[in-house]
Structure 1
């Protein structure tokens, strides 16, 4: 099951200058065998509305392919942005990669 997960790990600021690169990376992975796309935010220090827009677009695109996009390791700034925009209700957010892995393993065993 773990081989059916693709990890996307943006770095630095996810803003207007990095959003196109993020969207391209997600698009390039859509044809893979992956069923789950994990966006690991551990190296993202800041995200603005452009980054959030790119993330929402990626979520919709991945869902159109009948795949799933989940998130882990968001910092306080990103968490607050998610809460203010209601995106914390849209995205499945894991505290870190270990929590995601445990969840994946428990789903595979059930």
Structure 2
């Protein structure tokens, strides 16, 4: 379903396809595992290959964001397609998540 890339203190999760009720629990588990890794200070979710996102997918992202805050870690999204970005704007979650334009943006973090 997704690839996990490792950079110093940064983990990148790259989900593919649909983030919906059918796979939201697995996705949330992957996010939680990424955040629970001791040597990670930033978790980035690269949404470039995500085709659709429903409320269950949004809840998985929100849950991971909340966990990151409680652990004192950073949680960011990147490469959000316009069709997905509109969902964040309509729900005003673009004000909650830090959304980077692309993967290159976080290399300077």
TM-score > 0.5, shorter chain as reference: yes
Which structure shows the higher strand fraction? 2
Normalized against structure 1, the TM-score is what?
Answer: 0.88
Q: Residues 27-50 of structure 1: CA distance to partner in whole angstroms, max 9, x if unpaired? A: 222133100000000110110111
Match of 2:4 in 1: none
- Partner residue of 2:27? 22
TM-score (norm 2): 0.88
Unaligned 5+ segments in structure 2 are 1-6
Is 1:92 matched up with 2:98?
yes
Q: Distance in 2 between matches of 1:23 and 1:62?
A: 12
CA root-mean-square deviation = 1.0
Residue by residue, what CA displacement relative to the aligned partner does 1:86-109 show, whole Å, maximum 9, x if unpaired?
Answer: 10011110110012213x1xxxxx
Aligned pair count reads 102
With CA pairs under 8 Å and 6+ residues apart, which has the higher RCO, 1 or 2? Answer: 1
> What is the CA–CA distance in structure 1 between the aligned matches of 2:61 and 2:33, rounded to whole Å?
15
Which residue of 1 is the match for residue 50 of structure 2? 44
Q: Which has the larger radius of gyration?
A: 1
Deviation at 1:26, TM superposition (A): 1.4
Q: 1:4 offset after TM fit, Å?
A: 0.1
Unpaired segments of 5 or more residues in structure 1? 105-110
CA offset at residue 21 of structure 1? Answer: 1.0
